[in-house]
Amino acid sequence: MFIKSNRRLTRRVSFNLIWLLVLLAATAPAALADELAIWNFNDSDLTVDHGGGTLVTNLNAANILFASGTTTNARLGDPAGQSLSLQGGSSTANNGRQITFNVSTLGFSNIIVSFATQGTSTGFNSNQFQYSLDGTTFVNFAAPYTPASAFGSVPLVFSLAAIAELADNPNAAFRIVFNGATSSTGTNRIDNFVVEGTPLTTSVPEPTSAVLLLTSLSGLYRVRKRRRAAKTQP
What's the pLDDT at 103? 98
The predicted structure's pLDDT at residue 12: 54
Give the chain's residues under pLDDT 70.
1-31, 202-234
Which amino acid, residue 203? S
* Single pTM value for the model: 0.76
Tell me, what's the pLDDT at 32?
74
Q: What is the pLDDT of residue 177?
A: 98
**pLDDT for res 112:** 98
Q: Please, what's the largest Cα pairwise distance for the chain?
A: 100
Q: Cβ contacts of residue 205 below 8 Å, gap of 6+?
A: 25, 26, 28, 213
Domain 34-199: state its class: mainly beta
Q: What is the pLDDT of residue 220?
A: 53
Q: What is the pLDDT of residue 217?
A: 53
What is the model's pLDDT at position 201? 83
